[in-house]
Amino acid sequence: MRARGGNAARPAIALALCAGCGLVADVQAQLRSRLQASGFAAPVAFVQDPTDRAVQFVVQQGGRIRVVRSGTVLPADFIDLSSSIVAGGEQGLLGLAFAPDAAVSRRVFVNFTNRSGDTVVARLRRSSDPVVADPASRFDLRWGGAGGRAFIEQPFANHNGGNLVFGPDGYLYIGLGDGGSGDDPDHRAQNPLELLGKMLRIDVSVPDAHPTGYQVPADNPFVRGVPVAARPEIWAFGLRNPWRYSFDDRSRGGTGAMVIADVGQNRWEEVDYEPPNRGGRNYGWRNREGTHDNVTSLAPAYLPLVEPIHEYDHAVGQSITGGYVYRGSRLPPGFRGRYFFADFVQGRVWSMALAVDAQSGEASASDLVEHTAELGGFSQLGNISSFAIDGDGELYVVSYSTGRVLKVIGPPAAPSAPTGLRIIR
């Protein structure tokens, strides 16, 4: 994992007024953490099984995907890909996502760095046992047509991204880092011919015999060459190393927006907010780091550059880990609609309020609150590699360094008032 902070971070943009914004509730000292499962080696993700509420999958960087059922870690792996990958640093098995039609297709997708250090997005199918994948079903997506490579070349070992998420539109979103080194030396995040430093969006609902394993959605923003001629798989430009992004769950009252945590270079970590169906954005790297000029010797691919809704400097933390807009029901009501995120290096956790403009769909951030101490501090949280939500929309923290998954829970319930009392003289 990348070495991923303390003064309270400052919201990048002031709170905007919007229709339907509720009163700000007290979210100080309202949370606790509870051990959900442990014994993992370098876990980087905790993924809910969409077909069984009692089952989750733990992605280990070394290549194994473990199965948790009702809080118990099963002895058999879902799959072991360790022989196919190189792991360590920022390389390894980095992402897992189940197809929206997983109950029927049994398809699951993984993202890993192969033995040469290049990014592979592979499709697998569950076996007759739903907690065991069929390794013979593996198909590595081919990029750039039927004769294209079954991997995306990575020039350096760092900044691989690795997250896989299906959006509300049913398409697979793939966040790729800029290819590594420092300050994106070849300006790849702004190169229209490179997939690196981009968010990709592809349609993987194709037959098994399809030669590439995906097709490009007709409404992808660069299909028609506007605002620049670019690879059609690209959804957005200008990312350095998107380490976890998620969609605000529409099924639970969310907006459907994508929220991206992009790891910074030397000074600034950032949170980007993308309203639903708003592809074609340029988040600015390497020309910008957060809201600040960075390397400007070459022009960006196109303008405007979209500013983050939040940033923090390296006096606070050194590597952001993205989370979720909370839409569950077990935490106090004031947490609904707040975005949770963390810093990997410092093991700090925050949430912030999001005010969404009803007309533009854009959001602004405010009311940043730190929850590190109430969740147990660094000794409990360790280096936080990921967040997760379960089938009820409840929130979890993945501790990379301690090998544990922690559930975020609310304050203890007040004792019930006694009944049936009588006075004895």
In a domain, 215, yes or no: yes
Mean confidence (pLDDT) of the chain: 93
176-219, pLDDT tens digit by residue? 999 999 999 999 999 999 999 999 999 999 999 999 999 999 99
Residue 310 lies in a domain: yes
pLDDT at position 245 over 50: yes
By CB neighbour count within 10 A (0-12 exposed, 13-18 middle, 19+ buried), where does 387 fall? buried
pLDDT tops 50 at residue 379? yes
| pLDDT at residue 3 is higher than 50 | no
Omega before 242 cis (within 30°)? no
Predicted pLDDT of residue 23: 41
Cis peptide before 168 (omega within 30 of 0): no
- CA distances in angstroms from 81 to 75, 93, 247, listed in the order given: 16, 8, 28
Distance in angstroms between the alpha carbons of the first and the last residue of the chain: 69
pLDDT (0 to 100) of residue 134: 98
Q: What is the pLDDT of residue 92?
A: 98
Any domain includes 91: yes
Local structure of residue 103 (DSSP, 8 states): H
Work out the average pLDDT over 311-329: 98
- Of 271, 301, 308, 304, which is closest to residue 286 (Cα–Cα)? 301
- Whether 138 is covered by a domain: the verdict is yes
Answer yes or no: is 362 within a domain. Answer: yes
What b/e string do you get for 149-183 counting C-beta neighbours within 10 Å, with b at 16 or more? Answer: ebbbebeeebbbbbbbbbbbeebbbbbbbbbbeee
pLDDT at 21 exceeding the cut of 90: no
Residue 5: inside a domain: no
Average of per-residue pLDDT across 335-352: 98
pLDDT reading at 87 higher than 80: yes
**pLDDT value of position 77:** 98
Tokens for 200? 């990709």
Domain count, the chain: 1
Asked whether the bond before 422 is cis by omega within 30 degrees of 0, the reply is: no
Least confident of 20-34, 107-121, 187-201: 20-34
Give, in order, the Cα–Cα distances in Å from 199 to each of 52, 290, 345: 29, 17, 24
Q: pLDDT band for position 15 (50/70/90)? A: very low
Residue 7 has pLDDT above 50, yes or no: no
- Cis bond leading into 304, ω under 30°? yes
Quick one: pLDDT at residue 412? 84
261-300: pLDDT as tens digits: 999 999 999 999 999 999 999 999 999 999 999 999 999 9
Tens digits of residue pLDDT in 256-270: 999 999 999 999 999
Backbone angles phi and psi of 302, in degrees to 5: -165, 165
CATH of the domain at 345: 2.120.10.30
Can you give the pLDDT at residue 279? 96
Question: What is the predicted pLDDT for the residue at 414?
Answer: 60
For 190, list phi and psi in degrees, rounded to 5.
Answer: -110, 5
Half-sphere exposure of residue 107, counting CA atoms within 13 Å on the CB side?
19
* Percent of the chain topping pLDDT 90: 90
pLDDT, tens digit, for every residue of 142-184? 999 999 999 999 999 999 999 999 999 999 999 999 999 999 9
Percent of the chain clearing pLDDT 70 (strictly above): 91
pLDDT at 28: 86
Q: How confident is the model at residue 425 (pLDDT cuts 50, 70, 90)?
A: low
pLDDT at 420: 65
Please report whether residue 151 resides in a domain.
yes
Res 415: pLDDT = 58
Average pLDDT over residues 383-398: 98
In terms of pLDDT, which residue wins out, 24 or 33? 33
Please say whether the beta carbons of 336 and 326 come within 8 A.
yes
- Domain region containing 253: 32-409
Residue 316: closest CA among 284, 280, 343: 343
Q: Is residue 18 part of a domain?
A: no
pLDDT class of 421 with cuts at 50, 70, 90:
low
